[in-house]
Amino acid sequence: MKTLLRGRLLSFHADPAETKSNHTYIEDGALIVDEGRIVARGLYADLAAPDMAEVDHRPHLILPGFIDAHIHFPQVQVIASWGDQLLDWLNRYTFPQEARYGAAAHAEAMAPAFLDLLLAHGTTTASAFASVHPGSAEALFSAAQARGMMMIAGKVMMDRNAPETVRDTPQRGYDESKRLIQRWQGRDRLRYAISPRFAITSTPEQLQAAGALAAEHPDLHIQTHLSENLAEIDYTLSLYPRARDYLDVYETYGLVGPKTLLGHAIHLNPREIARIAETQARAVFCPTSNLFLGSGLFDAARLREAGVVSGVATDVGGGTSYSMLQTLNEAYKILQLRGQKLHPLSAFHWATRGNALALGLADRIGSLQAGFDADLVVLDCRATPAMALRAEAIESLAEELFLLQILGDDRAVAQTYVAGRPMKPAPVLTR
Ligand code: GUN
Ligand code: ZN
């Protein structure tokens, strides 16, 4: 049955940093949704018809659902762990928590909770790392399938510099990834990402196995971490003494191409930036994580000028919020420290169409267009008393978006639609 969703529609068709005419805003707009797709977008007055169910979201904004370009599923109980930078944080908090996902029952309990958190925050698609255990990827894919979500995910490959409970071997990592690819790649809205965690936790033999998988499956995403932290870079170069730089490690094993998502990408040399641009790999900015772990300040302008396409992501649990709004808030502040500006239109483009482009999914999600998947977020700029008070003084769409970006979080998400179905978990009633 067709449903009409009424509200203030906002969708981007170009990057505001590059093109003046970049978005469509329809004050009294409507989307007609049928069988998971947007079948029409326009003025409410033009689309309303007596045979359709109608949901009136006025005065809220309706945007494409947020996309999170880098997040760790087995870190739902790592988020907000005190005191360390990257390598100590991994050893003290992350690896012990991820070890628990060796028990299928734990992974199966956490996966629905993880995805419901994403949906509560308005995120409808993510590129997610599971733990090393294939059962954790199974649990995540199953839960995403049950929700009808478009999800990119993979089990991390890691065979050294971590406790045995979170290690595989080159052969096991290859075999387990292969089996998961056969089971999940292209099933419903799911995609597999080959996921060597990072150079420190993979032997050369394992990166070679990951490269073999990539060569056998050139259509798959590859997700990993690059140059997040200075101690990480030093350690990496000591483990790979023949590499010209950190990126060269991944290049050597055939892991850098247009489907490669390089998490963090903060401390890069000019050769690395030029190669990322040339290979069309993506850099992924993880602002809340970069601040929380004291990693450094992402240089968005430098990468853009070099022709690199960047995504933006929460990186929970190094990141401190599931909210792409809060992620854009911290992105704004990091870029302030860099002397760069993140305009609210650019910010909302980034979290929607921009990330769809970064993930190579911009033909299905990230904009409100007829034929696209009906993944949507409904945003309320008056969701809290502080927001409502500030909202009294806004005079433009850009000001409203900036208010959402700086003060918004899951409370500002009035509804989330996945393939046309409302999915925002109901609030828990306390009385
Ligand atoms: N580098 C390797 N693994 C991780 C991780 O889990 N989180 C972050 N932030 N960086 C990493
Ligand atoms: Zn990460």
Q: What is the pLDDT of residues 203-245, one digit of tens each?
A: 999 999 999 999 999 999 999 999 999 999 999 999 999 999 9
Ligand 1 pocket, mutate which of 72, 85, 90, 289 (most atoms under 8 A from CB): 90
Minimum-distance ligand to the CA of 319?
Answer: 1
Q: What separation in Å is there between the alpha carbon of 379 and the centre of ligand 1? A: 30
Burial of 164-198, coded b for 16+ CB within 10 Å and e otherwise, reads eebbbbbebbbebbbebbeebbeeebbbbbbbbbb
- Quote the pLDDT of residue 1: 84
Q: What separation in Å is there between the alpha carbon of 406 and the centre of ligand 2? A: 23
Residue pLDDT, tens place only, 32-58: 999 999 999 999 999 999 989 999 999
Which atom of ligand 1 lies closest to the CA of 156?
3
Which atom of ligand 1 lies closest to the CA of 94?
6
Q: What separation in Å is there between the alpha carbon of 286 and the centre of ligand 2? A: 8
Which atom of ligand 1 lies closest to the CA of 295?
9
Residue pLDDT, tens place only, 256-312: 999 999 999 999 999 999 999 999 999 999 999 999 999 999 999 999 999 999 999
| Residue in 27, 28, 75, 24 with CA at minimum distance from that of residue 317 | 75
Contact between 319 and 289 (Cβ < 8 Å): yes
Helix (H, G, I), strand (E, B) or coil at 277: helix
Residue nearest to atom 11 of ligand 1 (CA): 225
User: What band does 431 get if pLDDT is binned at 50, 70 and 90?
Assistant: low
- The more confidently predicted of residues 425 and 98 is 98
Residue pLDDT, tens place only, 239-252: 999 999 999 999 99
Q: Is the dihedral of CA 363, 366, 367, 370 positive or negative?
A: positive
Contact between 308 and 274 (Cβ < 8 Å): no
Q: Does position 428 have pLDDT exceeding 80, yes or no?
A: no
In whole angstroms, give the CA distance from residue 259 to residue 358. Answer: 9
Please state whether beta strands 37-43 and 190-196 pair in parallel, antiparallel, or not at all (unpaired). Answer: unpaired
Ligand 1 pocket, mutate which of 68, 70, 71, 72 (most atoms under 8 A from CB): 72
Angle, helices 170-184 vs 134-147, to 10°: value is: 20
In this prediction, residues 62-66 reach a mean pLDDT of 99
In whole angstroms, give the CA distance from residue 64 to residue 260. Answer: 24
Which atom of ligand 1 lies closest to the CA of 293?
9
Q: Does position 98 have pLDDT exceeding 80, yes or no?
A: yes
Q: Does position 392 have pLDDT exceeding 90, yes or no?
A: yes
| Residue in 422, 427, 407, 401 with CA at minimum distance from that of residue 11 | 401
Which atom of ligand 1 lies closest to the CA of 319?
9
Contact between 359 and 261 (Cβ < 8 Å): yes
In whole angstroms, give the CA distance from residue 19 to residue 295. Answer: 32
Q: Is the dihedral of CA 35, 40, 43, 47 positive or negative?
A: negative
Contact between 295 and 269 (Cβ < 8 Å): no
pTM, to two decimals: 0.98
Q: What separation in Å is there between the alpha carbon of 70 and the centre of ligand 2? A: 6
Q: What separation in Å is there between the alpha carbon of 81 and the centre of ligand 1? A: 13
- Quote the pLDDT of residue 103: 98
| Protein residues with CB under 6 Å of any ligand 1 atom | 72, 86, 90, 94, 197-198, 225, 228, 289, 315, 318
Ligand 1 pocket, mutate which of 68, 86, 200, 261 (most atoms under 8 A from CB): 86
